[in-house]
Amino acid sequence: MSGSTDRLRDEFEACFGGLAAIGRDPAGGWTRLAWTDEDRQARAWFESEAAARGLAVDRDPAGNLWAWWGPDAAAGGVVAVGSHLDTVRGGGAYDGALGVVSGLLAVGQLIERGVEPARPVAVVAFADEEGGRFGVPTFGSRLLTGALDPEDVLERADQDGVTVARAMAAAGIEPGEVGPDPARVGRLGAFVELHVEQGRGLVDLGRPVALGTDIWPHGRWRLTLTGEANHAGTTRLADRRDPMLGLAAAVLAARAAATELGAVATVGRVVVGPNSANSVPGRVSAWLDARAEQDQTLDWLVAAFQAAVEDAAGRNGLAVELACESRSPAVELDQDLTARVYACLRADGLEPAALPTAAGHDAGALAAAVPTAMLFVRNPTGTSHSPTETAELDDCLAGVRALAAVVEELACR
Ligand SMILES: [Zn+2]
């Protein structure tokens, strides 16, 4: 093994380990929700890792952090790489983190080799990608490009009633300043997000790295079923208006529709009132997360879900409310940029596979405004949003080298 490989290995372990030390959840895994103390520590980690490589950091009005290398950003044609620092509750160490760490190390590699950038390069850490606290995924990237209106999101509250505006203010960002940055977006020439794979595609292909082809359309819907809370012993079955029965039918209907349509559907969060073991519940709220290959298929899935819920509500005397909380259309990554990245990686001796993804990403938000590509790194367990999400060190290093080759190709020639 060469000395430079050893050095990169040590550097990766130190850099990745620094971030992985933040937000260890006593309940298991990692929890770094947006604008919490863990998030603040992760941002401080990013600033110090950037500074260690001589990169100046600034923050855009959507709360994202940018570490700069090379010519002044005003020159335009900025080549940006990066991902996000936040996690879901009890998530894994790699989702988001791997892309940010790889971006910093890729630029560090080029600096070390004495490569001169002809265009500005930025490593970006996007804010609140997961939406784990306020239910608004890809918050920072969509706010940045103008796809999200601050008016629509600043008053959203977390489970404790703290609004986005208050949480951002506590992190030092004035709510009045929060918004898009069209000038910054206009200066971007390309965005490449490296991400740990969230499935077993690369394991099956026996390859360490893939290029993304497209991102499935996906969305979240909030279902509220209202019946009547009552005594679990004295209320006759015939007299009950039990919203839990409606929810049970809804969950099974989502699964059946997803199976039939080759899609995926999940009910992973439920709020029950009064949430008492000896009461018939009065109200149940649940969140449907649904993703499909085509927008139309996703529409069919939600329509099937809604029909089943209304049917169950009719039989059980329930009121139904189904509201779409977020919806992201299908995203095709930029073909020309992807072809260029593919050619560059092949020339570098790395033949990447090609994979679509059913997960949302900041790259999906950026793709609407900037030529965007994605790289995936193999994940042996195929799990994500779970502490068992992982990647082999050698594969991570292959990802860093791939990203360095891409930045060199796009910004240094
Ligand atoms: Zn992610």
Determine the pLDDT at residue 1: 52
Determine the pLDDT at residue 251: 97
Report how far ligand 1's centroid is from the alpha carbon of 344 (Å). Answer: 24
Determine the pLDDT at residue 3: 81
> DSSP labels for 278-341?
TEE-SEEEEEEEEE-SSHHHHHHHHHHHHHHHHHHHHHHT-EEEEEEEEEE--EEPPHHHHHHH
Report how far ligand 1's centroid is from the alpha carbon of 88 (Å). Answer: 9
Report how far ligand 1's centroid is from the alpha carbon of 19 (Å). Answer: 15
Report how far ligand 1's centroid is from the alpha carbon of 39 (Å). Answer: 15
Instruction: Express each pLDDT in 103-158 by its tens digit.
Output: 999 999 999 999 999 999 999 999 999 999 999 999 999 999 999 999 999 999 99
Q: Are strands 353-357 and 209-215 parallel, antiparallel or unpaired?
A: parallel
Instruction: Express each pLDDT in 242-289 by its tens digit.
Output: 999 999 999 999 999 999 999 999 999 999 999 999 999 999 999 999
Instruction: Please name the residues in contact with 234: beta carbons below 8 A apart, sequence gap of 6 or more.
Output: none
Span 315-331, mean pLDDT? Answer: 94
Torsion-angle region of 146 (φ positive above 0: left; ψ -120 to 50: alpha; else: beta): left
Report how far ligand 1's centroid is from the alpha carbon of 246 (Å). Answer: 32
Report how far ligand 1's centroid is from the alpha carbon of 86 (Å). Answer: 8
Report how far ligand 1's centroid is from the alpha carbon of 119 (Å). Answer: 27
Q: Is the pLDDT of residue 186 over 80?
A: yes
Task: Report the residue count for the chain.
Answer: 413
Taking the C-alpha atoms of residue 143 and residue 127, their distance in angstroms, rounded to an integer, is 10
